[in-house]
């Protein structure tokens, strides 16, 4: 198996802060690896090391087959980087931004301009091509930023929280772009705090927290490993709710939890549990308006892994992941 990104035992310390404490990552060619974790987990640090912007204290990593420590220049020939904050040049127009990157990648003037035009068109920025980037909306800046990282047709693309701060419809657009990149053969490392985003895009997910990998695998497997499936039931008659609760406690694992206004949910094992549930409900005479079996959401997975709810992370200080400047 060929890995486009492969890292073993990466560590990095900033002063008293152990940003990475031995992280392993692997992404097969032509797939999306989702790097998921709360703010301050070390996601950005890991990306910066893989993109040769930062040297790890220990551990080793290869990107596109080249060692980031001994062969950084080769690595840079094969990567595209889109940072957490759009790193386009405000005082340059969209075209100037992209042509400049093309020229720095040794495209001839004509080629660089043609490539810029293609990318602007692809990202729906043709009309804004000759406007300074400072006049762009947040979504347009993100698109220009992503376009800038694609000028050299990189084999490996690092997207560090590409949709943070975008509204939901713009986020879906960005997802479409990322899917297309992968369809064209690129490998993508995507960091995100949005579980739905990792779920929607990633072939493999690595969850990190406080500089350590705490779980990894394909999204479905990750969900299954963590507590099997969830059974959700809503009684037709609220008076039967306590009776339903006792019944679910017998069928499932652990205490049934409240769900929504008057539903109950419990984790169950096995794909063939549903007929038994139906039979048990019938013999107990409990009528239900809703009955479903599904894998837990990544939110629930994340909660059970870290013991903290993602909602709580969202409100934590965004600066915690920023690396102190030397």
Query: Which residues are at the interface with another protein (CB under 8 A)?
Result: 14, 48, 51-54, 73-74, 76-81, 83-92, 96, 100-101, 103-107, 111, 115, 118, 121-124, 132, 143, 148-149, 152-155, 173-174, 176-177, 180, 183-184, 323-326
Q: How far is the CB of 49 from another protein (least distance, A)?
A: 10
**Least distance to another protein, CB of residue 206, Å:** 21
Nearer Cβ to another protein (144/264): 144
- Minimum Å distance from CB 113 to another protein? 12
What distance lies between CA 146 and its chain's CA centroid? Answer: 16
* Cβ closest to another protein, residue 121 vs residue 237: 121
CB of 298 to another protein, least distance (A): 24
Q: Specify the residue, 103 or 221, whose C-beta has the smaller distance to another protein.
A: 103
For helices 274-284 and 241-251, what crossing angle results, to 10°?
Answer: 140
Question: In whole angstroms, what is the distance from residue 35 CA to residue 82 CA?
Answer: 15
In the beta sheet, which residues pair with residue 17?
A: 14
Taking the C-alpha atoms of residue 272 and residue 37, their distance in angstroms, rounded to an integer, is 33
Smaller CB distance to another protein: residue 89 or 299? 89
Triad 134, 179, 143: Cα angle to 5° = 5
Phi-psi region at 161: left, alpha or beta (left = phi > 0; alpha = psi -120 to 50): left
CB of 283 to another protein, least distance (A): 51
SS3 7: strand
Nearer residue to another protein within complex by CB, 152 or 228 = 152
Burial label for 113, CB within 10 Å (0-12, 13-18, 19+), is middle
Detail the DSSP E strand segments found in 236-322: 253-259, 263-268, 288-294
Shortest reach from residue 182's CB to another protein, in Å = 11
When the beta carbons of 35 and 247 are compared against another protein, the nearer one is 35
């Amino acid at each position: 198996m060929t890995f486009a990104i492969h890292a073993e035992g990466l560590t990095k310390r900033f002063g008293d802060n152990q940003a990475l404490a031995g992280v392993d990552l692997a992404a097969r060619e032509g797939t999306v690896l989702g790097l998921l974790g709360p703010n301050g987990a070390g996601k950005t640090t890991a990306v910066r090391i893989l993109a040769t912007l930062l040297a790890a204290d220990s551990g080793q990593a290869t990107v596109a087959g080249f060692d980031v420590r001994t062969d950084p220049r080769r690595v840079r020939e094969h990567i595209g980087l889109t940072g957490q904050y759009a790193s386009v040049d405000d005082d340059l127009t969209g075209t100037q931004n992209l042509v400049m990157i093309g020229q720095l990648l040794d495209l001839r003037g004509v080629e660089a301009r043609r490539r810029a035009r293609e990318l602007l068109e692809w990202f729906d920025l043709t009309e804004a091509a000759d406007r300074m980037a400072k006049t762009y909306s947040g979504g347009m800046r993100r698109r220009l930023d992503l376009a800038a990282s694609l000028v050299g047709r990189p084999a490996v693309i690092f997207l560090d929280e590409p949709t943070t701060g975008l509204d939901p419809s713009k986020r879906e657009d960005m997802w479409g772009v990322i899917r297309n990149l992968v369809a064209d053969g690129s490998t993508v490392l995507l960091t995100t705090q949005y579980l739905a985003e990792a779920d929607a895009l990633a072939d493999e997910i690595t969850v990190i927290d406080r500089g350590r990998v705490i779980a990894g695998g394909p999204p479905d497997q990750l969900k299954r490993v963590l507590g099997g499936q969830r059974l959700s039931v809503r009684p037709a008659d609220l008076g039967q709710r306590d009776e339903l609760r006792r019944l679910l406690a017998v069928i499932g694992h652990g205490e049934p939890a409240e769900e929504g206004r008057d539903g109950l949910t419990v984790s169950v094992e096995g794909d063939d549990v549903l007929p038994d549930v139906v039979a048990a409900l019938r013999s107990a005479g409990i009528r239900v308006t809703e009955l479903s079996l599904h894998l837990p959401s990544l939110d629930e997975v994340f909660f059970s892994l870290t013991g903290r709810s993602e909602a709580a992370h969202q409100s934590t200080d965004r600066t915690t992941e920023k690396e102190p400047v030397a």
